A and B are shown apart, each in its own frame.
Chain A
Amino acid sequence: MPGGEVRLVVRHVTRKATGWLLMIVVATNVTYLLASFFLDPRSNFKDLRPVRSEAQIDRALAPYNLDPRVPLVDRWWDWLTSVVLHFDWGRSPTGVSVNGEIGYRSLVSAELVVLSLVFSVLAGVALGVYTASRQYGWSDRVSQAVSVVVFNVPTSVAALAVVFVAIWLNQHAGLHFLYVAGENAPGVQGLLPTVGDRLLHLILPTLTLTLMGYVGYHLTQRSLLLDTINADFVRTAQATGLTRSQAIRRHALRTALIPTATSVAFSVPAVFTGAIVTETIFGWSGMGSYFIQTISKNDVHGTVATAAFAAALTAIGAILADVATVFLDPRVRVS
């Protein structure tokens, strides 16, 4: 790409990013109001013993800018200034820093989701390509049927099925490395054992997420490729002396991969937002379980920060997808 074009892309991205930023700001503030309305931090203290008075509870919440006696507008303003000036997203009703939690948990989620994303894309695209070139063959029909079923199974059912099988294997085949809960085992020492231990804990949740994730890539890649496989230019390529499979590989596939690459670019940032149901079932404390925790523990600031984080990553994904299209597809480049 010549320099002028890069400048155009940069300008385009900047303009888009500004629009996104505006939307994120609005979305975040709306979420703040909704969360303040729907979540009641005081209820966290209701069941504590010894029983505390209303005033005691409010006083306990005051340092975290959650005191319900302070007008909502003032609380909102304080929260906003601290976010804008110090990038401090506040604290939970028990005083835990939201910034710290998100920083740690997003990495946990990433650890969980990155591998499965890679596997999903590889498996899904490979399967899509394999079956598209054998349309209506038995391998196509079988994998299509499997994918349609898997695609429509709720994550909870699939994940628990994986857990069930793993436990059965552990009991009957004497395996002991399929861990059904947690990110790591307590008390493991040393670098290599720690890495090994974490990897073993990754097996089942990664398997689940891959299972849930590959299907979309399989079905879309298959239909994308089927749409291009009969394109005139594939026939032209064959006419120059390529076999059908060479022509499909070199011409149809390259073209059909562009939308997939775009959608992968879109979903890469989303790895940090984690997988809610899977994290819950496998007991990982990533962003997904943080999401549940903040809502059920009436953590206004945590909830808002989670929303802002997710919205920001969506925006980054969309911009990445745009840029990917520009770089991969000569047709949308400005000439």
Chain B
Amino acid sequence: MFDANPAASPSARVRKVEPSSFGFQPSSVPPPAGGGGDLLEISLGPHHPSTHGVFRMNVVLDGETVVRLKPVFGYLHRNHEKLGEGTSYLGSMPYTDRLDYLNSMTNNWAYAIAVEKLAGLTVPERAEYVRVILAELTRLLNHTCLAGFLMQDCGCSGTPLMYAFRERERILDLFESLSGSRMMCNYQRFGGCRVDPTPAWLAAVAQLVDRYGPFLDEFEELLTGNEIIMARTQGVGRLPAALAVNAGVTGPMLRASGVGHDLRKVDGYGVYPRLNFRVPVGDHGDVYDRYMVRVLEMRESISLLRQALAALPGGPVLDPKAKQRGLRPKAGEAYGRIEGPKGEIGFYLVSDGTANPYRYRVRPPSFVNLTVLEDLCLGHTVADAVIILGSIDIVLGEVDR
């Protein structure tokens, strides 16, 4: 029988470099060492709800057990990084919305930080708080959606997803009334934010924050103690901490494996050092822990939102001296990163003194997190592979760019 111990496999297995990563080659799979039954190679996706977009998994099955898995992606490739070299610094901002289209506010922020570092801009105090508020709202939105989608993958069709989307819609309404668009916010600017939030908007945020705790209680009542969900997710897709660190996994997925690494604490960007919050860490690194870590993070986000709303100072929201159009930073390079809801989202920019970046590179969290997919899925069933993929929390707009 094929040895499919995920803990032993990453170092023991020798990865064969295949000539074409797009080719579907049924004959390329050697029979497993030590005999075993007939293998079946099937293609999961690309057009299937379980793949969260256009993503394909070529899986080799022994019975129902995954013995090999090859992710195939690039179906949504839009030349994002090359486009960034051809557009101005300001012109790339709306494109960053379209990376991870659930979390446009944090993408904007990471890009703004990179450009601010490059051009040496400062951000007014009020804008820093507004950015924290928006980033934590985004985290709520992303994790709520993820929990809903994960349950959809587990087979509870509809109900948890619709409850999650109901709450997500309230956050999107806030984004829309502030920035003009539900998902493609294009809100952050170099040296601050585009629009100053009105008192009415801040009151609406406070109201949403107050009702989010009760919603989470209800959501957890529905899901966390559910025996079917526990049976489906506990012990499935274990990610050892060492592998997570070596593969560069970040975000809730890394923390679920027991590594307390959070850029909000590590880098202390923005005004996070002034706010009190804890970083939830999992014990087992399985799908259930990834779900729980996200739920606990949402609770911390609620507390962060309360603190940020209480401490929000007055003043301008955009540095009036900061140049948006025709920005020409001095030649140099900068890497700006923040803790996005999915992990470390970073932008690496090289400037040669002209109006366009010389190099524009995105460090996408879901792409890097996806690299451990095979290691997580080996030895599990096809149905579990779907849940494991769901728990990684990918958005194909960011994976393929």
Q: Is chain B a partner of chain A in the same complex? A: no
User: Chain A residues in contact with chain B, CB under 8 A?
Assistant: none
